[in-house]
Amino acid sequence: MAREFDIPLFYRSEIISTIKKARKESDRYRKDLSPSSVNLGNIEIRIARHFGFCFGVENAIEIAYRALDENPDKRIFLLSEMIHNPHVNEDLISRGIRFLMRTDGTSLIPFSELKPEDIVIVPAFGTTVEMFKDLESRGIETRTYNTTCPFVEKVWNRSEQLGQKGYTIVIHGRAKHEETRATFSHARSSAPSIVIQDMAEARELADFISEKRSPEEFFDHFQGRYSPGFEPARDLQRIGVVNQTTMLATETHEISEFLKSVMADHFGASEPGERFADTRDTLCYATSENQQALYALLESDGDVAIIVGGYNSSNTSHLVELCERQLPTFYVKDEGEIRSLQEIQHLDSHSGKVKLSHDWFPARRRDGKEGPIRVLISAGASCPDALVDRVVSHLAGLLGKKDHLQDALEPFRKLLSESA
Ligand code: SF4
């Protein structure tokens, strides 16, 4: 995980890079989850300890830009968005990369137009077994520029192992997300598989495990989300759970524990692993770290939260979900959405719609105490630090504090020189 990737400099940043570097140097084992405080006088910006480009995203970006450098005369395609950040995808498009599909799998360019000499980049989410086969049948080499994150491949490997041990694979994920579509495809080639989205669906599945509901209802309810030939009575006798790498850790654990108890209740006490595979979750390190850092950020308390990331980013949406439980939270894709201290455009994750909110910036602290207004900031694993920089400086500008930013970074520079 310590590898440094060769990604374009414009994705790096001054403010966030200084803070991250200082924190990294003074806490090499990444154990201290307390947020970083940028003190602007009557405003304090508290930035989560961990967020932004993860291993898989930096790896994907390095490979995509290398594909551009190494193939100036070839047509380069991406199967779909490489990662869920519009700014990264737009930059790749501006350099000539074309997308073959939308994120939901609908076609943008027919595959019949592909030629064997074309370069096709597989995104960080990976792709389905069928897609790999289709590309290979067209003579396209898929290995050189395959950016599938190793943590996603780890889920595929876990699925295969579960399948070999005779378990049906229950995938906790968003059925329409590229990663879950890919995992479902890889899992079903090893064993009967089914996708469930949340705890409510785990409860639905429990009714079928304990045969309270008919198989017909099963097929109706989980349409498109079970593998061909699935037979509830036969295939729900031994199960193992894997997760989309970016789910909410608490929900994933709750679902696993719940299904384990359902299996024990229905089939009676059994040897560990006999009915329910005893495995750890398959969330990736970035999801775990970012969610843990967010809990620490929320614990530090705040008056308003801004979460930065692409609107279709699963891991970002979970950060928003956690924040919303505690304080007013705004999910923005970039600084342009913070129009003023009175007006902010953001994604309402409940309705899935972009909306405009007024008088969003708090006039006083929620705890009623004297002191600076505390603005909490974090971002998704596909969000460039440069974008968070722009959000921080834009906000400082709106607050009339832009000149204070350099002074506010001084403690981090000091920390850096002390640890040098
Ligand atoms: S969020 Fe996790 S699984 Fe996804 S690209 Fe990053 S490290 Fe890989």
**Does one domain contain both 99 and 89?**
yes
174 is written with which tokens?
């968003």
Residues 119 and 13 in one domain: no
- Domain boundary residue among 204, 235, 267? 267
Q: Would the CB of 383 count as within 6 Å of ligand 1?
A: no
* Whether residues 307 and 377 fall in one domain: yes
Cα(150) to centroid of ligand 1, in Å?
8
Say whether both 87 and 179 belong to one domain. no
Nearest-5° Cα angle at 409, 405 to 412: 170
User: Which residues fall within 8 angstroms of residue 25, CB to CB, at 6 or more apart?
Assistant: 415, 416, 419, 420
**Is there a domain that residue 260 lies in?**
yes
Measured from the Cβ of residue 193, the count of other Cβ atoms closer than 10 Å reads: 26
Mutate to test the pocket of ligand 1, among 151, 314, 317 (most ligand atoms within 8 A of CB): 151
Please report whether residue 389 resides in a domain. yes
Domain containing 82 — which CATH number?
A: 3.40.50.11270
What's the CATH number where 211 sits? 3.40.1010
What pTM was computed for the model? 0.94
Say if 108 falls within a structural domain.
yes
C-alpha 247 – ligand 1 centre gap (Å): 11
**Domains contained in the chain, number:** 3
Residue with the smallest CA separation from ligand 1 atom 7 is 56
Q: Whose CA is nearest to atom 4 of ligand 1?
A: 56
Residue 277 lies in a domain: no
Same domain, yes or no: 306 and 406: yes
Mutation pick for ligand 1 pocket among 284, 285, 288, 319 (CB with most ligand atoms within 8 Å): 284
Does 128 share its domain with 227? no
Residue 375 Cβ inside 6 Å of ligand 1? The answer reads no
- CATH number, residue 310: 3.40.1010.20
Mutate to test the pocket of ligand 1, among 127, 287, 316 (most ligand atoms within 8 A of CB): 287
One domain, residues 295 and 413: yes
End-to-end CA distance of the chain: 22
In a domain, 322, yes or no: yes
Cα–Cα distance, 391 to 308 (Å, whole number): 8
Strands 239-243 and 304-308: unpaired
Ligand 1 centroid from CA 15, angstroms: 24
The answer to whether residue 1 is domain-embedded is: no
Residue 349 Cα to ligand 1 middle (Å): 21
C-alpha 23 – ligand 1 centre gap (Å) = 22
Q: Is the CB of 125 under 6 A from ligand 1?
A: no
Can you give the residue range of the structural domain that contains 37? 9-54+285-419
Q: State whether the beta carbon of 149 lies less than 6 angstroms from ligand 1.
A: yes
Residue 51 beta carbon below 6 angstroms from any ligand 1 atom: no
Same domain, 22 and 116: no
Q: What distance in Å separates the CA atoms of residue 254 and residue 258, rounded to the nearest whole number?
A: 6
Residues 85 and 162 in one domain: no
pLDDT of residue 17: 93
Q: Which atom of ligand 1 is nearest to the CA of 284?
A: 2
Last residue of one domain, picked from the residues 87, 112, 137: 137
Q: What is the DSSP letter of 5?
A: P
Asked if residue 230 is part of any domain, the answer here is yes
Q: Give the model's pLDDT for residue 2.
A: 62
The number of the ligand 1 atom at minimal distance from the alpha carbon of 83 is 5
> Is 117 among the domain residues?
yes
| Predicted pLDDT of residue 419 | 78
Residue spans of the chain under pLDDT 50: 1
- Binding site membership of 59 for ligand 1 (Cβ less than 6 Å): no
Beta bridge partners of 376: 46, 305
Say if residue 263 is in the same domain as residue 312.
Answer: no
Which residues belong to the active site? 179
Q: Is the same domain home to 164 and 184?
A: yes
Q: Are residues 371 and 296 in the same domain?
A: yes
